[in-house]
Amino acid sequence: MRQEHLDGYLALLGVARPEGAPDAALLAELQRRHLAAVPFENLDIHLGRPIRLVEDELVAKVVDRRRGGFCYELNGAFGALLRALGYDVSLLAARVFVDGGASVGIPYDHMTLLVRLDEPWLADVGFGRFAREPLRFDVRDEQADAEGVFRIVDGPDGDVDVHGDGGPEFRMEIRPRELVDFTAGAWWHQTSPLSHFTRGPVCTRMTPEGGRITLAGRTLIRTGPDGRHQEELPDDAAILAAYREHFGIVLDRVPDNTPPVVT
């Protein structure tokens, strides 16, 4: 990662350049701040812009363009940041549980991160609403987090499952992968009518207070200590203003439902 991107990334997260060795406390702070500062969003899919899994481009999208992305982009960029800070990071492939946990999605459905310190940690800023802080990868007991109770359990064939509040979230392989390995999964999610990412634009992030703000199509949803509030935005101008105000995203047109042509 280029020096200016490292400095810009840390500034975006509001984190000072660390002076000591990488540790678990800084990792937790980086994940919390990333979830609040960088939105989970699929807007490029609905703007007709193909997404390429090239590390420099993923980082530039976050740092220079002040955008977010879906799992491959967010965890790809976050993993690059962690490596630039001296962390030992591996990309892991996962399949998301669907149908209430009855089945899993396609191979390379999701990308998550394994960070090795004195102990291994599962870090993830690309699953939408998920644990605010990394989870101990080697612990099989329940792990309490501000977003609920999580548990990592051994799955079939050497895989590892992540459960949140009692329900299965995703199933990971433990073999380290390269960014390019996720190309087919990213293509499928950008183009397939079966992918939930092609069904409509969504942009969401955690708020500093621990709530969440989401813009799904024309619906703006706020959740927090005072409950859930939903508002239908009246026109394109209001939608573009909401992207600017709540996510720092400046667009010249409203994303529609036309997926890009990805070759």
Which residue out of 44, 109, 124, 161 is catalytically annotated? 124
The 10 Å Cβ neighbour count of residue 184 is 12
Which percentage of the chain shows pLDDT scores above 90? 89
The pTM assigned to this predicted structure is 0.95
pLDDT of residue 166 exceeding 80, the answer is no
Least confident of 101-105, 220-224, 232-236: 101-105
Which residue out of 5, 71, 189, 203 is catalytically annotated? 71
* Three-class DSSP category at 218: coil
The residues, any chain, with a CB within 8 Å of residue 233's CB and separated by 6 or more, are 218, 219, 220, 239, 242
Specify whether 165 is catalytic: no
Predicted confidence (pLDDT) per residue in 11-27, tens digit: 999 999 998 899 999 99
Which residue out of 46, 110, 189, 246 is catalytically annotated? 110
Q: What whole-number distance in Å separates Cα of residue 4 and Cα of residue 140?
A: 39
Specify whether 110 is catalytic: yes
Q: What's the confidence (pLDDT) of residue 261?
A: 56
- Strands 219-224 and 227-232 come out as antiparallel
- Sheet of 40-41: strand order equals 40-41, 202-206, 212-216, 219-224, 227-232
Q: What whole-number distance in Å separates Cα of residue 62 and Cα of residue 39?
A: 9
As a whole number, mean pLDDT of residues 58-73 equals: 98
pLDDT of residue 263 exceeding 60, the answer is no
Structure tokens at 166: 């009692």
Nearest to 40 by CA among 66, 74, 13, 12: 74
Q: What's the confidence (pLDDT) of residue 135?
A: 98
What confidence tier does 221 reach under pLDDT thresholds 50, 70, 90?
very high
Predicted confidence (pLDDT) per residue in 109-165, tens digit: 999 999 999 999 999 999 988 999 999 999 999 999 999 999 999 999 999 999 998
Handedness of CA 142, 146, 147, 148 (dihedral sign): positive
